Every structure is written in C-alpha cells, then in structure tokens.
C-alpha cells in the first residue's frame, strides 16, 4: 500500500514538473487550468496525509513559510562580473579592435548576442541535480542568499536530469510588463506608492521577508550561463543550448554572429523592436563565443574583456503638461513639478516629472498646456527634455515665479547667488516634514518605520513638531496603535528603529541635523576634525575655511545654524535622549589606501557597481575628495550611464573623464 502511495506521489510530481515546464518555460500549456489544479490538489493531499514522503523539490514546496529578518550572505568562488557599457556602433567597433589586438593574429572571432534583460542577476546552485541555493549578485563575490524567494519562481526547475555533477546557473530575474502594471494598478487603488519600474520591483520583491508575497508577484527568469564541475562546453552558444536542454528558461532571441557588423545590425534591429516584447530590455549583451578566447582575453578589474553591453538610448515620449505645482523641501526651497497627462514610459505610467528649478523652466521655456518630451533619467526619474514648440498654443503665457509658499502662504525669499526660492516660515508644515524625513533617512539616523506617509500623518496629527519629538513618540503609543493601518507590531517596529538610532555615530547625527550645504562627506570631516559638537559650536569662520572641502558658503551656513538658539535647544534636547554628539575611536573609518590622494573626483550618471553614496565612500576611503559640481578644481569626472550636462561641461573645461572600469583599475 505504502509503495503505491509513494509511486503515485512521484508520478504526480513528475507530471506537474512537466506541466510547469510547458507553461512557464515554453509558454505553451498542455493541459487546462482545471486539470492542473486537480492534480496539484491530489499531490498536496497525499503529501499532507503521508508527511514521510515530503520533499524539498516537490512542486508543493515552492512557497515556504519561513520568515527571516536578515538574509545570510553567500560567497562565490567565481565572481559574477559586471559589464562595461557602449552606446554607439563606433564603440562596438573599438571593442572588436581591442579583442583582435590581444588574440593571436588572424584569429576567427565569433560573437553571441543576447537581449539585456532589465532585471536582477542571481545565481542558482544545484547539488546532485537538485535546487540547493540561490543568491543575488551583490558585489560580485558576495551576495544575499534568497533561496526561499527564488524557489517561488515557477520557471526555475527544482530538479534536473544531468551528468554535470554539482553546477550553478546564472540568470536575470524580471517582472513581465503585464504583472508589473497590474500590481501598480492595485497599489494605486488602495493608496499605496507605485513601483518606479519593473527592475526595481523585481529587485525589491526578491528582498522581501515573506516568500508567499514573492510568489504572488509572479516573477520570472531568463538564464544565460551554466558553470559545472564537468564542463564540456567550448562556446557560449553551446552553453545556452545546453541550458535549454536541461529545462531552464533561456531567452529565445540569442544569436551567433561571424563579425562585428552583424552584431551592430542586431543591436539596431532590437532597439526598434524592444517595445514589442512582454518584458523590459535596456540593451544587448555581446560576448566572444569561444571560451578558449575568453580565457585568453581575461578580465579588467570587475569586468570581462570578452563581453560588453550595448545600451539603448533613453526612450522619449510626448505628452501634455497640465500644470506646474511647487513642492517645499526641508530647507524651505521650492521645487517645481510638472503634472502631466498620464503616458506610458519604460514599464510604468508617468504623470509627474521634475523641473528642477525656475531657471530650468525659463531656459527651456516650459509653459502650462505645452506638449513636452519626457524621458527617465537613469531609467528611474522622469524629466522633461524639451518642448514641442510646433504644437504650442499661440495664446500661451510664460510661467511666472510664485510669490508665496504654496503650503503656508508665507512670503518667499531669494538671493542673487542662488537659483532657488525659499519659504521663510520655520513652522511651515512642509519644512517640518522635510526635516524629519531627512533626519530619519537611511544615510542619516536610518529609523525604520518612519517613512513619508507615516511622517505626514504624525505631523498632521500633532505627534511630531520637530525631530526631537521622535524620541517622545512612546507618549502617543495608544493613539498610534489605534490608527488605521497601525497596531502593536507597527509601533514596536518604529520604537525599535528609534532606539537603534541613539547608537548612530556623531558624523551621522551631524548630517541628520540638516545643516545647509553640509552633506555626508563634510559631516565626516567635521566630526573627525572637531571630535564633539561643543567644539563646532565654539569655532569661527577662520578655523572652518582652513578645513578641506569647507569653503566660505559652508562655513557661513555652519555658523548661522549654531547661532540660532532654537538649534542649540534642539541639540540639548537630543543629548537628553542619548544621541551621540562626540566622536568615538572607531566611528570614522581610516583610509584603506592613498591611491586617490590629491585627486578631486566628480561622479555623474548611473554606475554598475556602486550606489551614489557607496561611490563617495569608496573615493574617500582611498584618500580622494568628492566634488558636487563641475569646476576647474575637479581632477577627474567619473561618468556612468546617462551622464548629462556635467559630462558636457567637463569636456568643455578639459577635465579628464574616466569610466567605471578605469576607476576600478586605479584601485587595483
């Protein structure tokens, strides 16, 4: 009897695995949903009745119930490298020429092209042909172990038939466009913030703590590389076909080329066809086909010499500008925002775009009811690039600068040295909210649970009037726990974040105070130079301007901040709440090298290996200085993807421009 049950369970698992393969990998279902559900239910019932036959690789085990607060790290022996980027046919030709210079003369070079899926790279580890572990790319060598979440992706086989020994598969997790749009529509209906694009959505989903929610979001994967102990492949093309034979999902649009011109033609073809796909792509990956040639070519820092990414130009759409509204930040600065007729762009519906400042409006002559061209800067933030003047109404009027604060109706001020205009009312609700949000932000006090929506609500309800009130929120515990959407757990999470913030080092606290012009870098320098808040309060202009990176504007801003008695009272209150106002021995990391000593580096565009904050830290760790704007004092411009006006200005000034790969080489 037991043998019959075990055999039936094994038979059902095999059938479901086959049906999943045809449905999720081949996009060609071979049975109806009703039949599938019946078989799945039978397997589920049998496994529940006979738990001795349960297995990690059973289809019913796709969604685990384990909740973990942190993801363990996984360290790989063979790094997952990032790719250098190219943006034109000329750069692809230069790539081909570099390769031919390194390889033996008259070598035949073939290329494989693959669509560059706009998602998140992960690695799947298989032991004895069973799915064992999954990890994100991370920094290339170390990533987060996300096995439970990866298991929910139905196109990932839980078991395969092979003679490869232990092996791993690398791929790109993504969100299909229709799933992404549906989830954003659902979030909008219940008043939740929409996801910016499918890539961010996929990345954020894989980092969720609950695999059940991950499963509901129906992520997918395209695999592109197989590594095994018994590696018998000679080429990347063979590698891809073997992945398909094993049952892994491979993007069908890969192609073998005999020369670089065929590669260029392929790139041009897909730049036109990209929007016809049911998922987002942002370019083409070009690889030397021969593994032997790849070995000869080797790697440069964190990128292979034998591969390159051809990035498509940013997409633009045209839509109507319905209105210009003004937002008020923590300093009181007003920022204009374009309210647009909703338009679909790169995976999401755009209804707002930044206009930066009033000078930008004047420079581009942007007016209400204009038809404007919009693109996503760095594929994330929508911005207006230009106006379609041919469609402009002849009776349109120029945009006027506001004369009063849109929030509190106070008078506005400006000075000749800045383009910004400011609300002067210190009690303006928008300024209070902005200061509190800055104080709680990840790079400042990093208080989990106090995001924009929560801070807005707490300020409106009178729980928060300044940043010090954060440490008195326990006085409102009952009221907060009774709010809609809150509860005991929500309040406990906020309190935990507040308690942790009291251990943040002095430089973080100094940055969190929101002194104008004093960013993270200057906060570190001041904390290291003065050691405690009392020394900063007592200092003078002459002492300040002697310090590296502290010019006259920053010095005057610091002196002005500490001359205000309200700020001194705030600091004293925060001291009473046990915040750190002096530097401890291990608070500020010493430099790990002097390879960038004496160099001032400006960063622009999107980088592959660093966030904007982490690249600043990396530069400072190696003795360099980080610039915030283009000037003759800048030694190097580190240009990432979608580098804009800073790149053009740097070229005009003759500043040396380096790529991310060249930057990494400098640190080797």
**pLDDT tens by residue, 419-457:** 889 999 989 999 999 999 999 998 899 998 898 989 999
Judge whether residue 387 has pLDDT over 90.
yes
Please tell me what DSSP assigns to residue 647. Answer: H
Mean pLDDT throughout 259-265? 97
Confidence at residue 347, expressed as pLDDT on a 0 to 100 scale: 66
Judge whether residue 521 has pLDDT over 70.
yes
| Separation CA 204–CA 174 (nearest Å) | 11
Mean pLDDT throughout 367-384? 84
Nearest residue to 561 via CA among 524, 587, 523, 588? 523
Q: Are 234 and 291 in contact (CB under 8 A)?
A: yes
Nearest residue to 67 via CA among 209, 163, 187? 209
Mean pLDDT throughout 148-162? 93
Q: Are 225 and 251 in contact (CB under 8 A)?
A: no
Judge whether residue 588 has pLDDT over 80.
no
Judge whether residue 67 has pLDDT over 50.
no
Mean pLDDT throughout 203-232? 89
Strand partners, 142: 75
**CATH architecture of the domain formed by 2-61:** Orthogonal Bundle (1.10)
**pLDDT tens by residue, 321-371:** 999 999 999 989 999 999 999 988 876 788 999 898 899 999 999 999 999
CATH code for the domain defined by 600-667: 3.40.50.10190
Backbone φ/ψ region at 285: left (φ over 0), alpha (ψ -120 to 50), beta: beta
Long-range CB pairs of 261-264 (<8 Å, 24+ gap) are 262/111, 263/92, 263/111, 263/113, 264/89, 264/92, 264/93
Q: 65 falls in which pLDDT band (50, 70, 90)?
A: very low
| Separation CA 83–CA 307 (nearest Å) | 7
Confidence at residue 379, expressed as pLDDT on a 0 to 100 scale: 54
Q: Are 271 and 314 in contact (CB under 8 A)?
A: no
Please tell me what DSSP assigns to residue 591. Answer: P
- CATH assignment of 429-501, among 3.40.50.450, 1.25.40.10, 1.10.150.20, 1.10.275.10: 1.10.150.20
429-501 matches 506-576 in fold: yes
Please tell me what DSSP assigns to residue 259. Answer: S
Catalytic, out of 41, 116, 207, 599: 116
Strand partners, 323: 339
Tokens of 267: 């790139």
Instruction: Tell me which CATH homologous superfamily contains domain 316-410.
Output: Nucleic acid-binding proteins (2.40.50.140)
Tokens of 132: 């064992």
Give the pTM: 0.61
Judge whether residue 66 has pLDDT over 50.
no
- The yes-or-no answer on residue 599 being catalytic is no
- CATH assignment of 85-89+104-264+275-309, among 3.30.470.30, 3.40.50.720, 3.10.20.30, 2.160.10.10: 3.30.470.30
Q: Does domain 506-576 have CATH number 1.10.150.20?
A: yes
Mean pLDDT throughout 26-54? 80
In the chain, what are the domain boundaries? 2-61, 85-89+104-264+275-309, 316-410, 429-501, 506-576, 600-667
């Amino acid at each position: 009897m037991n043998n019959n049950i075990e055999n039936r369970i094994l038979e059902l698992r095999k059938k479901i695995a086959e049906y999943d393969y045809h449905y999720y990998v081949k996009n060609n279902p071979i049975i109806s949903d009703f039949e599938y559900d019946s078989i799945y239910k039978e397997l589920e019932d049998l496994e529940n009745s006979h738990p001795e036959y349960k297995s990690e690789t059973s289809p019913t085990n796709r969604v685990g119930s384990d909740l973990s607060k942190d993801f363990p790290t996984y360290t790989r022996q063979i790094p997952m490298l990032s790719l250098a980027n190219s943006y034109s046919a000329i750069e692809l030709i230069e790539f081909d020429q570099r390769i031919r210079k390194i390889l033996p003369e008259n070598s035949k070079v073939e290329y494989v092209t693959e669509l560059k899926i706009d998602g998140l790279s992960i690695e799947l580890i298989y032991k004895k042909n069973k799915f064992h572990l999954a990890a994100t790319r991370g920094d290339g060598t170390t990533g987060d172990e996300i096995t439970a979440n990866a298991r929910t992706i139905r196109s990932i086989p839980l078991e395969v038939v092979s003679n490869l020994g232990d092996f791993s598969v690398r791929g790109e997790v993504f969100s299909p466009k229709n799933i992404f749009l549906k989830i954003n529509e659902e979030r909008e209906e219940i008043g939740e913030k929409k996801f910016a694009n499918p890539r961010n959505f996929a990345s954020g989903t894989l980092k969720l703590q609950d695999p059940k929610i991950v499963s509901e979001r129906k992520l997918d994967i395209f695999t592109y590389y197989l590594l095994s102990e018994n590696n018998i492949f000679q080429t990347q093309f063979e590698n891809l076909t073997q992945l398909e034979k094993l049952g892994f999902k491979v993007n069908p649009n890969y192609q073998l080329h005999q020369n670089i011109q065929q590669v260029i033609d392929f790139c041009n073809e897909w730049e036109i066809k990209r929007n016809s796909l049911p998922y987002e792509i942002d370019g083409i990956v070009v690889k030397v086909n021969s593994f032997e040639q790849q070995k000869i070519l080797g790697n440069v820092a964190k990128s292979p010499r034998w591969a390159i990414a051809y990035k498509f130009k940013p997409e633009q759409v045209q839509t109507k500008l319905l209105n210009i509204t003004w937002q008020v930040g923590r300093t009181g600065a007003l920022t204009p925002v374009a309210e647009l007729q909703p338009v679909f762009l790169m995976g999401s519906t755009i209804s707002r775009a930044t206009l930066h400042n009033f000078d930008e409006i004047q420079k581009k002559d942007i007016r209400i009811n204009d038809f404007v061209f919009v693109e996503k800067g760095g594929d994330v933030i929508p911005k207006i690039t230009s106006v379609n003047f041919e469609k402009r109404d002849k009776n349109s009027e120029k945009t006027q600068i506001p004369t009063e604060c849109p929030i509190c109706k106070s008078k506005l001020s400006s000075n000749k040295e800045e383009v910004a205009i400011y609300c002067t009312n210190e009690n303006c609700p928008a300024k209070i909210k902005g200061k509190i949000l800055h104080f709680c932000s990840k790079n400042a006090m990093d208080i989990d649970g106090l995001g924009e929506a929560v801070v807005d609500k707490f300020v409106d309800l009178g729980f928060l009037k300044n940043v010090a009130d954060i440490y008195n929120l326990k006085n409102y515990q009952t009221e907060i726990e009774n709010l809609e959407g809150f509860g005991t757990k929500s309040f406990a999470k906020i309190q935990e974040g507040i308690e942790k913030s009291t251990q943040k080092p002095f430089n973080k606290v100094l940055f969190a105070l929101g002194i104008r012009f004093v960013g993270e870098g200057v906060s570190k320098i001041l904390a290291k130079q003065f050691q405690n808040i009392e020394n900063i309060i007592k200092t003078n202009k002459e002492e300040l301007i002697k310090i590296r990176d502290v010019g006259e504007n920053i010095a005057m801003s610091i002196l002005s901040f500490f001359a205000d008695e309200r700020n001194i009272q705030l600091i004293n209150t925060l001291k009473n709440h046990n915040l750190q106002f002096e530097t401890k021995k291990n608070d500020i990391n010493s430099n790990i090298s002097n390879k960038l000593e004496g160099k001032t580096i400006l960063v622009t565009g999107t980088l592959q290996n660093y966030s904007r904050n982490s690249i600043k830290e990396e530069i400072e760790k190696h003795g360099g200085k980080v610039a915030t704007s283009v000037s003759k004092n800048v030694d190097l411009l580190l240009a990432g993807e979608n580098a804009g006006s800073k790149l053009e200005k740097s070229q005009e000034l003759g500043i040396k421009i380096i790529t991310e790969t060249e930057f990494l080489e400098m640190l080797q």
